[in-house]
Structure 1
Amino acid sequence: MIYLDANATTSLLPEVLDAMLPWLREGFHNPNASYRGAKDARKAIEDAREKVAALIGAESDEVVFTGGGTESTNSALKWLARLVGRKSGRVITSAIEHSAVLKPCETFAEVGYEVARIGVDGGGRLKLEDIEAACDAAKDGGGFVSLMWANNETGVIQPIEEACAVAKERGLAFHTDAIQAVGKIPVNVREVPVDYLSLSAHKFHGPKGVGALYIRSGCRFEPMIRGGGQEKDRRSGTENTAGIVGLGKAAELAMERLSQGVNPAALRNAFEAKIVGEVSGVTVNGDLLHRLPGTSHLSFTGCEAAGLLILLDDLGVACSAGSACMTGKQQPSHVQKAMGFSDVKAKSSLRFGFSCLNTMEEAMAAAEAVKKSVEKLRRVQGGSTGPVVVYSP
């Protein structure tokens, strides 16, 4: 199987698994107890906290471990909503957010908050002037901003540094869902002074079920999960020592790759070049100047994504038609609709996600499989083709 769905999840690196195994076996102790084994577990957690903090340019006490990216995001948003209050609170987000942001914001709107959803251009990128206008409308009444760092479907990187500056100038708190960005591109909270940031281990070769929430020192925060007061009373529940250690090791390895400039962009580019050169009626979607190095989002005229997925699976290529959280749902992706896609185009689109584990041989074999699948499906469906289209801003 050629695995090209790294935006959905990634496999554990061998070094990450090796780091975790001792804490699943002999190091099973509760890290909040007082005996030696527990103290060893506590030290392992704090070592991991330092590695995660280093990856995003934070201080270790600004990192709170959670059960994953969705929990991190919900914790931040629900606290910010409580903080600003629904009578005067304006929630500013975008039309392309992950469901971990969209769903809480829908709930906020149902109970009386004003929710502003900023649109995107044809390349899937937020416009700074629209962010400014939305923040201007909130500055007198209070509110907060939550914008994703990079989109999970298209890989398009958003102008977070500029957006954060706009929010700060107007006194608005700023959260970013950086789950697709952390570990793949440089993310530094000292250079981009967000107040809250969500990340998830399994997006950069760590384990599932563990993530972190960055809370800038000095920013107020009340926990969503209360209980025994773990994580300095910011997230209760006995810590997942093995998972946290795995997150720490994955963060350490990601930092090494970033410092060495190691990323899958060359594989992605070669994959796209072969498809564009040999298959007609292809659209390369998203802003090509601002996207994650491993993400390729393509549309194929005259083909339905559902059929292509079956054919590609038969040929040993794993990819997706969009967010894994939306798999099985019939409506077109909200991200693609926000970009102006027709229903037909949205339903003919596939997402390919490369990681550091893929090879050039796999990229070329996958491109050949795409070519064969598109040609076969067009023959069966009698689909028409058109010229290659590449979005350019």
Structure 2
Amino acid sequence: MYTQLKNDIIQASKDIGIDKIGFATAEPFTHLKESLEEQKAAGHTTGFEHPNIDERLNLDLIFDTPRSIISIALAYPTKLTKKSTSVPGERRGSFARASWGTDYHDILKDRLNKLIEVIQEKATTNDEITFKPMVDTGELIDVAVAQRAGLGFIGKNGLLITEEYGSYVYLGEIITNIPFEPDTPIESKCGDCTKCIELCPTTALLGDGRMNGKKCLSYQTQTKDMMPLEYRSKIRTIIYGCDICQQVCPYNKGKDFHLHDEMEPDPDIVNPLLVPLLTISNRDFKETFGPLAGSWRGKKPIQRNAIIALANARQKSALPHLLELIEKDPRPVIRGTAVWASGELAPKDPSELITFLTDFKEKETEPEVLIELNYVLEKLNS
């Protein structure tokens, strides 16, 4: 009975816009416990993960009578189909590919809910069937589920790599009490390749599929406090996320799929002008960037990153805008970051900037801003 239902689900998944689907057992992911505990003890976790390790591993703790997990993947674009508008003298930032188009959480939830409707329609059992859909905000580890369900293998960068789409896929899953026949897990095919490890700018990848999450540039672009100095130049002009460990992966060579209209990006939004971001209103931010997954932390991290990107892009025309932020912005993180960036964009004769910052230092009381002021003034006076 469930064999036919599984086949019906696989066929229906194509019609509702699911690119890959697989079925896994609901057995505990016990083999991951030691690794997760080691990562937490080492301080490698970011705080974005579900906090209860046992609930991440044992489905019985989060679902009544789990029998199977249905895992799905949707491929997303990796190249823009048109360029952003050119504005002479103005530099643009960029959102990582996973934040292009409509927020993938919304897209996956839509597909998962449609899949549940199909199962309810096609199931012939008299028993009550139950479901728990989730994306990456749920308890389970998406890549572990997808690997067990045969969608792909987990690479040395910790991402799921599929044969058809590389690692450029969004993942979601449904826990159910239906006992489907499981598919075959896929073992790693990275072999001796270590490109992602070697080319990670912050050496965040540990070599075995794990990472120090706090060193990952994607994480650093999502924090709300002052970004540590060591990471600022490394984000270049990226204002959300990081694609480097995907871009260098041989399995991603030539992968670019445009299968879902909701995922198609507006180039002027995913590559926004940096200067206008400095003073964007809450309303305009929500209207322009709200539909993107990269907006989930609010506008402050994006603005902070835009300031850093202007410094990295050497856009000296932005200096007056930075000085205005230093004088008027009420947020210490924005003021402190603008102080640092002003030092990076200082003119050959920095005397006026030194006077401005010295005068401002007399009024500033926030420790994180004073640290940046002392750093920049020492640099400019040397």
* TM-score, normalised via structure 1 length: 0.26
Greater CA radius of gyration, 1 or 2?
2
Greater helix share, 1 or 2? 2
Q: Looking at both structures, which has the greater relative contact order when contacts are Cα pairs under 8 Å and sequence separation is at least 6?
A: 1
Greater strand share, 1 or 2? 1
